[in-house]
Amino acid sequence: MTGEDLGQPPRALILTVLGLYVREAGGWVSVRTLIRLLATVDVDDQAVRSSVSRLKRRGLLVAERRDGAAGYALSAYARGVLEIGDERIFARGDHELDQWALVVFSVPEDERQKRHTLRTRLTWLGFGTVSSGVWVGPGHLLPDARRVIEANDLSPYVDLFRAEYLAFGDPATKVAEWWDLDALDVQYRAFLERAVPMLERWRTTEVRAPEASFADYVRALTMWRRLPYLDPGLPTALLPASWRGEEASRTFFELKELLEEPAHAYVDEIVR
């Protein structure tokens, strides 16, 4: 049993493998091992090498030889990114909203690249837009916002606030203005279209072969991991009645429960 072709970019699949398995193996992987693992999800060696080169340029990987073998180590920056990612990707539950986080910023025109970086990072943290220089999110996003802003040397341009919404609109209506929830819900539905058939197959499979489990778990996590970044984690009461985010979350975590252990057994066999 193998996972269907989901059209996932090689670089995204590689990041999933790095985050899941390479950190716990000491943060280093040989080129040979990485190519073999990615072949399981139908990524050829040339695509692996090309994607790894891009990750090096982004400062996520560092070329390093160990015991005569060529390989790559995770940079300190990559480890930090992956640690934040763990907290978002594997978090569950409905958040209470007792306060809002406000990010107020002003970046000079001659430093517009930093403005772009800041907006990109806030989007990926799940913040919504009140106006061009005022972004909003639920209060639980504040620690991540502070870490990301400091890590990217953006703090001179930013003020962070804890806030309450007092007046003059309906919070659910305002949330729909600050976030494009319809677009995010479309992505949740796309995830379900691919993940539900995968889950149904595994529910009826008595023997979970390690290689096939690894392939589908990596694919499922690669599909899933970007969504918790875009989702601010708003209370259910503020979300549309048709919202599919909770169903998508249940689907992913059931797949994780079924596949995580045999997938890890496959990696252990490869890297020993």
In a domain, 172, yes or no: no
Q: Which two tokens stand for residue 242?
A: 């048709």
Residues 150 and 191: their CA atoms lie apart, in Å, by 32
Task: Count CA within 13 A, CB hemisphere, residue 177.
Answer: 8
- Series of mean pLDDT values for 10-residue runs along the chain (272 residues): 55 92 88 94 93 92 91 90 84 79 94 92 93 94 91 92 92 93 95 96 91 96 92 91 94 97 93 74
Do residue 143 and residue 218 come from a single domain?
Answer: no
Residues 99 and 107: their CA atoms lie apart, in Å, by 26
In a domain, 142, yes or no: yes
Q: Go through 128-152 and write b for each residue having 16 or more CB atoms within 10 A of its CB, e for each that does not.
A: bbbeebebbbbbbbbebbeebbeee
Pair 103, 134: CB distance under 8 Å: yes
Residues 62 and 75: their CA atoms lie apart, in Å, by 6
Q: What is the pLDDT of residue 1?
A: 32
In a domain, 41, yes or no: no
Q: What is the pLDDT of residue 7?
A: 60
The residue ranges of DSSP E strands in 182-242, in sequence order, are none
Do residue 186 and residue 242 come from a single domain?
Answer: yes
The structural domain count of the chain equals: 2
In a domain, 134, yes or no: yes
Q: What is the pLDDT of residue 93?
A: 65
Q: Is 163 helix (H, G, I), strand (E, B) or coil?
A: strand
Q: What is the pLDDT of residue 94?
A: 66
Q: What is the pLDDT of residue 122?
A: 94
In a domain, 94, yes or no: no
Do residue 189 and residue 255 come from a single domain?
Answer: yes
Domain boundary among 138, 163, 188: 163
Residues spanned by the domain of 117? 100-163
Do residue 147 and residue 200 come from a single domain?
Answer: no
In a domain, 121, yes or no: yes
Q: What's the Rg (C-alpha) of the chain? A: 20
Comparing CA positions, the residue from 261, 249, 257, 262 lying closest to residue 223 is: 249
In a domain, 29, yes or no: no
Q: What is the pLDDT of residue 83?
A: 83
Tokens 């989702």 identify what position? 231
Do residue 145 and residue 195 come from a single domain?
Answer: no
Residues facing 88 on adjacent strands? none
Do residue 159 and residue 234 come from a single domain?
Answer: no
CATH number (domain holding residue 112) = 3.30.70.240
Comparing CA positions, the residue from 138, 118, 117 lying closest to residue 127 is: 138
Q: What is the pLDDT of residue 2?
A: 35
In a domain, 38, yes or no: no
